[in-house]
Copies of this chain bind each other. A is one copy, B any other.
Amino acid sequence: MNRIPILRMGDILLVTIQVDMEDQTALALQDDLASRISDTSARGVLIDISALEIVDSFVGRMLASISGIARILDATTVVVGMQPAVAITLVELGLSLTGVRTALNVERGMDLLASARRGRALAR
Interface size of A in residues (CB-CB distance below 8 Å): 20
Copies in the complex: 2
- Given A2-B51, A4-B51, answer yes or no on A110-B18 (Cβ-Cβ < 8 Å): no
- If over half of A's interface residues share one DSSP class (helix, strand or loop), that class is named, otherwise mixed; here it is loop
A39 at interface by CB-CB < 8 Å: no
Interface 1/0 per residue, A75-112 and B, CB below 8 Å: 00000010000000000000000000000011100100
> How many whole Å from A55's CB to the nearest CB in chain B?
14
Interface residues, chain A, with chain B CB atoms under 8 Å away: 2-5, 7-10, 14, 16, 18-19, 48, 50-51, 81, 105-107, 110
Per CB-CB distance, the 10 closest pairs between chain A and chain B, nearest first, are A5-B51, A16-B16, A5-B50, A7-B106, A18-B18, A9-B106, A5-B16, A7-B48, A9-B107, A5-B48
